[in-house]
């Protein structure tokens, strides 16, 4: 049977969406990349700019697209559309604006979506993931968000700088909200298979775990303070997740999706270890959280649920 060419559609041609398109193209993850934006010229310009470098990447069809043309045959739809928080603006203000944009995406998914997964990048990602999953009527798990995958990458980077170990040898993740109530799953952290505490003891390293978590949570804000946006690291994460979906790997990532009785947590989207494949989130890993970690997970879920209640979601 002839194999169907792979196709990714990115909604939003801003700093994040364009960086995602470039990262996916450089890794040759799809035969076709469509970029949709309310500013058609911006989408066309981004597609042209990336296409001009195809001599180093190989043949791909990268173009400005439309919902009607590109959603029906997409293997993956990536939602990056949204606005960033302005000085003096609250999370509630930001959420209200981006929920309105998300609902426009929902309208078009209902009209044109046929198959494939939907990856949400727009913030607040847990809330936007919940809205798109619940209001689109797509099968459960088809909609997932990048969640704390980026936070986990930042967490591992900070651990590598504190332990002077190759980041590729450090494993561990954060869970819960992509935001203030996330927490580090310290029970998951290993360095080349050795538990972190044992590794540090043998190497004479003293870690300030509270400081590492604080720095992890504030990493995005620190980048935004200096350059106005975070786009390169999230683009690398999106490309990694895109490869997982396109190649149907079934890899485990701490992504956000609407939970249904995960350790008693339901009807809220937060990040937990999940199996990601061509269908989105195929299932959840019942990770062996410590009692304290379970308390943190439930607290994070409760805070997100309260936030959504304040938005009447």
Q: How far is CA 12 from CA 44, 47, 90, 171, 197, in A?
A: 12, 12, 22, 32, 43
Asked whether residue 2 is domain-assigned, the answer is: no
- The residues that bridge with 300 in the sheet, in sequence order, are none
Just list the catalytic residues. 178
Structural domain ending residue among the three candidates 124, 145, 166: 145
Mean pLDDT value across residues 31-39? 97
Q: Which stretches within 196-290 are classed as H helix? A: 196-203, 209-227, 232-246
**Together in a domain, 182 and 202:** yes
Asked whether residue 97 is domain-assigned, the answer is: yes
Taking the C-alpha atoms of residue 173 and residue 155, their distance in angstroms, rounded to an integer, is 7
Mean pLDDT value across residues 152-156? 98
Asked whether residue 259 is domain-assigned, the answer is: yes
**Together in a domain, 156 and 231:** yes
Q: Which domain holds residue 20?
A: 7-145
Mean pLDDT value across residues 202-225? 95
Summarize pLDDT for 50-91 with one digit per residue, the tens.
999 999 999 999 999 999 999 999 999 999 999 877 666 667
Phi, psi of 284 (to 5 degrees): -120, 145
Number of domains comprising the chain = 2
Asked whether residue 1 is domain-assigned, the answer is: no
Taking the C-alpha atoms of residue 307 and residue 241, their distance in angstroms, rounded to an integer, is 27
CATH number at residue 181: 3.90.110.10
**Contact criterion met (CB below 8 Å) for 271 and 188:** no
**Together in a domain, 136 and 241:** no
- Considering the entire predicted model, what is its pTM? 0.96
Asked whether residue 186 is domain-assigned, the answer is: yes
**Together in a domain, 39 and 25:** yes
**Together in a domain, 179 and 249:** yes
High-pLDDT (> 90) share of the chain, %: 92
Structural domain ending residue among the three candidates 145, 172, 193: 145
**Together in a domain, 168 and 284:** yes
**Together in a domain, 83 and 158:** no
The residues, any chain, with a CB within 8 Å of residue 268's CB and separated by 6 or more, are 126, 130, 258, 259, 301, 304, 305, 308
Q: How confident is the model at residue 1 (pLDDT cuts 50, 70, 90)?
A: very low
Phi, psi of 279 (to 5 degrees): -95, 5
Helix (H) or strand (E) holding 306: helix 291-310
**Contact criterion met (CB below 8 Å) for 95 and 124:** yes
Structural domain ending residue among the three candidates 93, 115, 145: 145
What per-residue string of b and e applies to 78-107 under the rule 16 or more CB within 10 Å gives b?
A: bbbbbebbeeeeeeeebbeebbebbeebbe
**Together in a domain, 20 and 83:** yes
**Together in a domain, 123 and 185:** no
**Together in a domain, 157 and 139:** no
Asked whether residue 257 is domain-assigned, the answer is: yes
**Together in a domain, 242 and 175:** yes
Helix (H) or strand (E) holding 3: none
Asked whether residue 274 is domain-assigned, the answer is: yes
What per-residue string of b and e applies to 36-71 under the rule 16 or more CB within 10 Å gives b?
A: bbeeeebbbbbbeebbeeeeeeeebebbbbebeebb
CATH number at residue 20: 3.40.50.720
**Together in a domain, 63 and 97:** yes
High-pLDDT (> 70) share of the chain, %: 97
Give me the DSSP letters along 4-43. Answer: PPPEEEEE--SHHHHHHHHHHHHTT--SEEEEE-SSHHHH
pLDDT at position 96 is 87
Asked whether residue 64 is domain-assigned, the answer is: yes
pLDDT at position 12 is 98
Distance of CA 15 to the CA centre of its chain: 15
């Amino acid at each position: 049977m002839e194999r169907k060419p792979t196709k990714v559609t990115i909604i939003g041609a801003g700093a994040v969406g364009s960086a995602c398109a470039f990262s996916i193209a450089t890794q040759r993850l799809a035969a076709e990349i469509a970029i949709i934006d309310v500013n058609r010229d911006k989408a066309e310009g981004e597609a042209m700019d990336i296409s001009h470098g195809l001599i180093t990447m190989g043949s791909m069809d990268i173009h400005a697209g439309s919902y009607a043309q590109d959603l029906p045959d997409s293997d993956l739809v990536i939602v990056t559309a949204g606005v960033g928080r302005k000085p003096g603006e609250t999370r509630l203000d930001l959420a209200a604006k981006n929920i309105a944009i998300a609902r426009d995406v929902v309208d078009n998914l209902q009209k044109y979506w046929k198959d494939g997964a939907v990856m949400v990048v727009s913030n607040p990602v847990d809330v936007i993931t919940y809205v798109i999953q619940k209001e689109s009527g797509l099968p459960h798990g088809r909609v997932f968000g990048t969640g704390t995958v980026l936070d986990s990458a930042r967490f591992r980077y900070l651990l590598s700088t504190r332990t002077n170990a190759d980041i590729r040898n450090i494993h561990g993740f954060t869970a819960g909200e992509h935001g203030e109530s996330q927490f580090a799953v310290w029970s998951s952290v290993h360095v080349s298979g050795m538990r972190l505490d044992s590794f540090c003891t043998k190497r004479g390293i003293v870690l300030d775990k509270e400081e590492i978590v604080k720095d992890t949570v504030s990493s995005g804000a620190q980048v935004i303070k200096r350059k106005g946006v975070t786009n390169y690291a999230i683009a690398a994460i999106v490309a990694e997740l895109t490869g997982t979906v396109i190649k149907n790997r079934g890899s485990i990532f701490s992504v956000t999706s609407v939970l249904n009785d995960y350790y008693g947590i339901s009807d809220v989207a937060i990040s937990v270890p999940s199996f990601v494949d061509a269908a989105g989130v195929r299932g959840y890993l019942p990770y062996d959280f410590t009692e304290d970690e379970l308390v943190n997970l439930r607290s994070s879920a409760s805070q997100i649920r309260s936030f959504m209640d304040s938005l009447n979601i």
